[in-house]
Amino acid sequence: MTANGKGVSLRLENCAKTYPGGIQVLSPMTLEIARGETVVLLGPSGCGKTTTLRIIAGLIQPDHGGRVLFDGVDVTSVPIEKRNVGMVFQSYALFPNMTVAGNIGYGLKIRHVPKAERRKRVDAMMQLVGIDTLHDRRVDQLSGGQRQRVALARAVACQPRVLLLDEPLTALDASLRDRLRTDLNQLFRSLGITTIYVTHDQGEAMALGDRIVVMTKGTIAQVGTPDEIYFRPANRFVAEFIGAANILEGPLQSEVMLLPGGQLHIDGGRTGDTAVAMVRPEAIGIVSPDGASWTGRIQTKIFLGDRLRLTVAEAATSAIVVDASNRLVVQVGDRVGLTVPNGSVRLLTS
């Protein structure tokens, strides 16, 4: 069962937010979201992601000149209760005075959906999110995961034009979060509603987003698909925020970066002053130091089960992290050669 067709396309046009006292929490931003797309707003606390979500919801107004468009129609001045958006809050915000079914059916009741039809849709929603046995359960008798599912069912029951989720998994423990992340992914794909998902967890963003909007200090740092964001970060902030990244700094000579431990080939590099480049830990290979163009000394070694995490000193201006095969035999203090496949090093702007 799908709750809707494909929702609406969404456009934020020059949306900024300044609070009284002149504190600007969001710089003017323009963002296009396609119909049925799942976009994740990702960034650290205070980066403006929740403010953006609340502007889309209609809970706060953007500064003068900012516009929110649903399918090309300006809804900037339409209050939240008339926008037909579904929202899942971090605290779930379930109504304690209602049962599970009462919560899920509340939006339908507001829309005067007949009781029999309401019951049918509530049952369908409960089945969709896997809580069909909790119909008459009180909210305070639910676990965190069950509450999250009720909040989600409630948000989609009214067939919203846009589904908005504000860090819905943050309050859950890690294992439950991983499980629900997979469930959410399947649900978003089956519903096909335009979805905006706010999180500070890059794993969640990678798993759920068709595209990710990485934000920092009230601005958009990069918009892209998960693999674009991961492999081709636009700048140092994105590189360091998404996954583990080794930031290398050194002078460039043609396509070669000169480092304390040797030389590193960089595609597209041009001779100039000090450049900054990024290479992911899993992209670096460990080889024999004999004849290697880039070497270093193993400083620490941690066995993580699926891989060996090494810290290698003397290779760059600061120690670098390498994820090697869990069967690699090396000792702390060993001198090792380092290799990086072509195209795995990315030059960054600061």
Partner 1 sequence: MIAARLPVALQAAFTVLVTAFLIVPAVMSMLAGVTVQYSRGLSSGLTLEWVVEVWTLYSDTILRSVLIALATLGCTLTIGVPAAYGLQVTGGRIARVIEEIITLPLAIPGLAIALGMIITYGGVGSFRQSSLFILAGHVVFTMPFMIRSVMAVLGVIDLDTLDESAASLGASRWQRFIDVVVPNAIPGILAGSLTVVTLSLGEFNLTWMLHTPLTKTLPVGLADSYASMRLEIASAYTLIFFVLLVPLLAAMQFAARNRATRGRQ
Distance CA 103, CA 106 (A): 5
Evaluate whether 273 touches 327 at the Cβ level (below 8 Å): no
Number of residues that bind partner 1 (CB under 8 A): 26
CB-nearer residue toward partner 1: 153 or 266: 153
Neighbours of 268 (CB within 10 A): 9
Beta strands (DSSP E) in the chain are 10-19, 23-33, 38-42, 67-70, 73-74, 85-88, 162-166, 194-199, 211-216, 219-224, 246-253, 256-259, 262-265, 272-279, 285-287, 295-303, 308-313, 320-324, 335-339, 346-348
CB of 289 to partner 1, least distance (A): 58
CB-nearer residue toward partner 1: 97 or 350: 97
CB-nearer residue toward partner 1: 57 or 310: 57
CB of 102 to partner 1, least distance (A): 10
Please tell me whether residue 25 binds partner 1 under the rule CB under 8 A.
no
- β-sheet bridge partners, residue 100: none
Site for partner 1 in 68-127 (CB under 8 A): 79-82, 84-87, 89, 91, 93-97, 106-107, 110-111
- β-sheet bridge partners, residue 77: none
Please tell me whether residue 21 binds partner 1 under the rule CB under 8 A.
no
Cα-Cα-Cα-Cα dihedral of 284, 286, 292, 295, to 10°? Answer: 80
Site for partner 1 in 51-70 (CB under 8 A): 57, 59
CB of 246 to partner 1, least distance (A): 41
CB-nearer residue toward partner 1: 107 or 337: 107
User: What would the two tokens of residue 30 be?
Assistant: 């323009």
Chain residues binding partner 1 by CB under 8 A are 57, 59, 79-82, 84-87, 89, 91, 93-97, 106-107, 110-111, 140, 154-155, 158, 164
